[in-house]
Each structure stands twice: as C-alpha cells, then as structure tokens.
Structure 1
C-alpha cells in the first residue's frame, strides 16, 4: 500500500517528502548490533581497488546518484524486473559499475549480522572509504538508513546533467535541501574517474551557431578532447579522465577548472556565478578548505533518507 501511494506522488512531492523525513541517524548505530560492519566495508573496497582503479569513482558516483532520486535508500542497487525498469538501467546510470563490491560486503555482513545492516548504509560507508583510500579525507558516517522498495528508471531524468547551467544546477540541488556551497564542494568528486565522450561532446563539436568549440575551453585542451572524441566517434569506451590525477582525491579538479580544462558544461557553469566562482578559486588554492567543505556536504547529502526496510539482498526487495 505504501509503495502504491509513493509511486502516485508527483516527483516534486516525493522530493519534499524526502526532505521532511530526514531520519535521526547515529554515528554509533551498529556498535552493539554489528560492530565489524565498517571494517568489512573498508577491507572489501580496498581489495577491489587493487584489481580495478576505477572502483572509488564508481562507488562515489553510485552513492550520489542514489541519494539524488529518493534519498539515500539504495534504490540504485535494485535490479529491473519483468514489470519494472529500475534506476540502474536508466540512461544516466547505464555506465554505473562496481555493484559487485556492495554485493560482497552485504554477503559478509549478512553472515555475521543477519538482517541488521542496510544496503544504503553500506553504500554510504563504501563511498567514504572510496574517498579516503584514494588519498582524500575520512569522516564518521552517520548510519541508520533504511532501504527503499521503489526504483524507477524514468526518475533518473531528475539527476543533474553534465549539460546543466548554473540555474539548473541550483534548482536541482535546492530541491534536495542542498546549497550552492554544497554544489561546488560535491562537484569536487569529479576529481576521481573517467567520462565517456557523450557527456562532453556538446562542448567540442557544434557548440553553437557561431562556434564549433566552447570558447571557455583552453584551446590545446579542447584540441586534445577532439582527437579523443572525433565528431563521428566509433570507439565504444572513448573518453577522458576527469582530471590529471584521476585516481587521487585532491583539489586538481578546481585547479584545472580555472584554467579552462574542465570536461562538463556543468563544471564550467560553476564559474558563471560570483558565489560559486569564489568557492572554486578558494578550493583551487587550498586542498584543506576543499576537503573540509566536501566532508560537510557529503554528510549533509548522505543524511537525506527515504527507505523502509533492511534488504537481505541489495538487488531485490524483501
């Protein structure tokens, strides 16, 4: 019954209901019921990173995409069924990967503490570990999230797109109770990872009626992107790293952004507002300032909750 009502709500009301139901999370939520949960997460994330250097960026992006739909409820982990196409199969999420990392954690945690630790908490902790194990900051993750029962592919249209301008970004973040400061800090997550050509093609080919290339791009950088991503690109996984140190969590993203070497229109958009431009400059000049702001915004974003149960299998509802 609850799921039916939830599905019927317009998306704006779903977002409102999420913002009004931020649960009382706790730093010591599993201290008595599953004290080894976080160490299990960290060990498995570390092992996965040894085999695949893209795991940290994948887990961080997965957590972000989860929280921005129905709150941090692990709905992004649910598989599609014959009657429903789930979030993970929505166009913006097709390139998400490393779901196996969460599966491995869940299997070990269930063997130790059955029915206790939610998939949403596992994903939140894994995202934190992905950052810290990549050389970034660590923090205490508030826990106690529940897993959601609803996952709909079309809802992924609500994710902020790489083509968004500053107004669209501000609206998207404010709907989740996140500020412009949060927008700039969380955008720093782009310091990790890789992007396919499709996400920045709009800036390097047929940009507008006058220019083929976005004039805000540094010319030699734009030329390098055009070589990797020609207009009739046929290389399936062609693309570029998010910054020049794409496996290290640092403030290089901001340093390159002010040099005209960002990939997305949504990155460049951060320089079009006085407030966000000032923050970009601040974070470019101080990794310490960036890390402090990132941690604060991550805790804020990951505390938006909306689930109802603790799934026994992260891919299916109980």
Structure 2
C-alpha cells in the first residue's frame, strides 16, 4: 500500500494535469515556460520564495492558493479576474457566494506582485503569478512532484460575478457536478481527479457532516466496509461540533 505522502504526490500530479487541461481549453495565447526569461529572468525564483515564505507562516495557505487558482480558471479562464475588486464597472467575483469570505490568498499574490514590480515593473501578469503560486504552494507542502507551468497569460480587466456564482458547490449532487464540469470540457474522471485537491488543507465539519452521517445511504456499500472510517469521522465531527457550539 502506498504511504500517505506517496498518495498525495500522485493526487497532486493528477490535479495538475486537470488544471493544465482547463488552461489549454480556455486560453488561446501561445504559452511558454520561458516566457519571462529575457524580460524578467528572476520571476520564477521571486514567486517561489514569496510563496514558500507564505506557506511556512501558514501551512493552510497552500490549499487556499490552489483553490484560488481553480476558482479563477473555472470562471472565464486563468486570467486573474478573481483578483479584481469592486468598482463602478466591476462587480467583483469575490462577492460571489462560492468566494465570499472563503477565497483566500489575495494578500499573498499582492505581496509577490509588489516584489516583482520592484525588479521588473509591468512585466509579469497576476494571472501567471496565481498559476505559479498554486504549483509552488503545493510543492512546499507535499515536497513533490513539481511540474512545468507555461507562462504568458494576460490579466483580465473585467470580472464575472454571475459566472462565479456557478462554481461547483459542496451541496451539488453528482449529476450536477458532472454537468457543470462538462461545460468546461471536463469529464467525470477529471472531476474525481480535481476533487483530490481537497486532500490538502481543511474544511469545517459543518460543510460535510450530513454526508458523513448518511454515508451508507450515499455510497450504498457494505456497511462492514464503512464501519471503521465512518465511525472515526463521526467521532471527529461530534468533537468539533461540541467545541464550537
């Protein structure tokens, strides 16, 4: 049996493949890992160090940055539109229910962007920073594998709160999730692979407690196969519920 770390590494590899699929199907520009070699040769190292420092301060930030990248790409491509604040012409995606008070890591991206502006102003896009940050944050927690991130994305000047409202939800059933992913050119296999990103980070028990207590009905598996895992999860959520209430 594979160890937990080996399993997480394999999961991350699949997740990255799916994120790259989203990027390739929604971005028409020619991207290249060497895009900034001539104009900002220190870009990748600057991002790497900024993300490494952020994750060392708060390990959970790795999951938040991966989620930020996914929520950016799933709406209208990997264009950093999720970073845009409200203005007279923008209804920010941050206000959409799936992002409101839950999307995190904006300050980390802003910090890295500020560092890059000092060494090569106006060169590196925020969209590329978000994409590289997801990779570097994952690597900082798991320790591997790494992967090549193609660069050269352009930042959006418009946001779509309405599209962000349709991001996959933890309350969605299987049919709804499959349908939602299909609109992005992704199939059920892709859905399962991307869901593996939830092995990094944390979630409040309130968001999945009902599924745990109905796990036998949902999965319709032999109760003996579920007895161990379901009982442990029930105890964990019960303790959590007692502590916060």
Shift of residue 133 of structure 1?
Answer: 1.4
Contact 1:204/1:214 (CA < 8 Å) preserved in 2?
no
Residue 164 of structure 2: aligned partner: 156
Stretches of structure 2 lacking an aligned partner (at least 5 in a row): 1-23
Q: Report deviation, 1:219.
A: 3.1
Residue 35 (1) aligns with residue 41 (2):
yes
Aligned counterpart for 1:23 among listed residues 17, 24, 29: 29
Q: Provide the C-alpha distance between the structure 2 equivalents of 1:66 and 1:43, rounded to a whole number of angstroms.
A: 22
SS across alignment from 1:92: coil
- Relative to structure 1, the CA distance from residue 81 to residue 140 in structure 2 (aligned partners, 3 Å threshold; closer, same or farther) is same
- Inter-CA distance 80–229: structure 2 relative to 1 (3 Å threshold): farther
SS at match of 1:170: helix
CA distance in 1, matches of 2:55, 2:116: 19
Higher helix share: 2
Instruction: Note the residue ranges of structure 1 that are not aligned, 5 or more in a row.
Output: 1-17, 237-318
Aligned length, in residue pairs: 214
TM-score (norm 2): 0.77
What per-residue deviation string (whole Å, max 9, x for no partner) do you get for residues 61-107 of structure 1?
Answer: 00001000111111111112366541122221121212111111101
Judging changes above 3 Å, is the alpha-carbon distance between structure 1 residues 166 and 113 closer, same or farther for their aligned structure 2 residues? same
The whole-number CA distance in structure 1 between the counterparts of 2:51 and 2:83 is 17
Q: 1:27-53 deviations in whole A, cap 9, x for unaligned?
A: 211111111111001001111112111
**Aligned equivalents of 1:198, 1:151: Cα separation in 2:** 30
Aligned to 2:188: 180
SS in 1 for 2:203: strand
Query: Quick one: structure 1 residues 39 and 86, their matched pair in 2 at CA, closer, same or farther if it must change by over 3 Å?
Result: same
TM-score, length basis structure 1: 0.60
* Aligned equivalent of 1:107: 114
SS in 2 for 1:91: coil
Post-superposition offset of 1:130: 0.9
Q: Which residue of 1 aligns with 2:125?
A: 118
Counterpart CA distance in 1 for 2:85 and 2:34 is 30
Partners of 1:28 and 1:143 within 8 A in 2:
yes
